[in-house]
A = this chain, B = another copy of it.
Amino acid sequence: MCIFEESDDYMIGKAQKHITCATCKARKDSLFCTFKDDDLDNLDQVKSCNFIKKGQSLFLEGGIPRGVYCINEGKIKIFTRGEEGKEQIIHLAKQGEVVGFRAMFSGDPYVVSAETLEESSVCFIAKNDFLDLIDTNTILRDGILKELSTELAERASFVTNMSQKSVRERLASILLILNNIYADEYINLSREDLANFVGTATETLIRLLKDFKDDRVIKTHVRKIEILDTNLLESIAGL
């Protein structure tokens, strides 16, 4: 299931052509954007690069954290499962994001799972190497603190939206978020994943998408979703 748990040496097997941090186009948006030549050389030494198929897990809820994953290319969903096993997507990570670093500090197993939504290229940095980086690089450390704080703030408003907004409003909000994540391409998520992000039943989500289509807010290209009117979406979301 989880490719990084296939063997004791979790870096074996899927390693692909090495991506050099110094020239990595995703790095400018990442926690490592301030790294200088020396830091980059060091990072290059300790990391491994992996090419991961769609639908593979990077790590699973309950698993033991071994390191962090830096996304070079592709999209990763971060989710928990409720009692009945239903997924709740908490976050959708794209290139440049580092996922799984929260678990480096808590000392506990993962409380979320991470799975690729499309073919992805992901670099792995082992826990000790990552913690060493933080000890020796105060800018990185401050970046981590800031990132954790920002996510905590986002999650507070996520809770509030979940408890106070209607499914229709939440769908509008999520579509706006996805529109940014998918930047210049159409949103490409299954109806089920989208429902699990909004926190609703798949049937309800499909019905609402139809309403949005009728109202010319979105257009669908089979499974892909094109956003036609962000202003209207914002007003539906109550922003």
| Contact surface of A with B, Cβ cutoff 8 Å | 80-84, 86, 88, 90, 102-108, 111-112, 141-142, 144-146, 148-153, 155-165, 199-200, 238
Contacts and interface: CB of A to CB of B under 8 A. Distances in A.
Contact of A149 (B83, B102, B199): B102
A110 to B, nearest CB: 9
A152 B153 contact: no
Contact of A145 (B82, B84, B105, B158): B105
Contacts of A148: 105, 145, 148-149, 152
A44 B103 CA distance: 33
B106 A164 contact: no
A229 B98 CA distance: 43
A155 B152 contact: yes
Q: Closest 3 A-B residue pairs measured CB to CB?
A: A163-B199, A82-B164, A162-B162
B142 A105 contact: yes
Given A82-B165, A106-B146, A145-B145, 5 more contacts: A82-B163, A90-B156, A144-B145, A158-B159, A162-B199
A107 B112 CA distance: 27
A163 B160 contact: no
B152 A82 contact: no
15 contacts: A82-B161, A82-B165, A84-B164, A88-B164, A90-B160, A104-B149, A106-B153, A144-B145, A145-B145, A155-B155, A155-B158, A155-B159, A162-B163, A163-B200, A164-B199
Contacts of A105: 142, 145-146, 148-149
A164 B201 CA distance: 10
A164 B163 CA distance: 11
A107 B146 contact: yes
Contact of A160 (B88, B108, B150): B88
Contacts of A151: 152
A145 B238 CA distance: 34
Contact of A164 (B86, B149, B165): B86
**Which residue of A80, A149, A165 has the most chain B CB atoms within 10 A of its CB atom?**
A149
A43 to B, nearest CB: 20
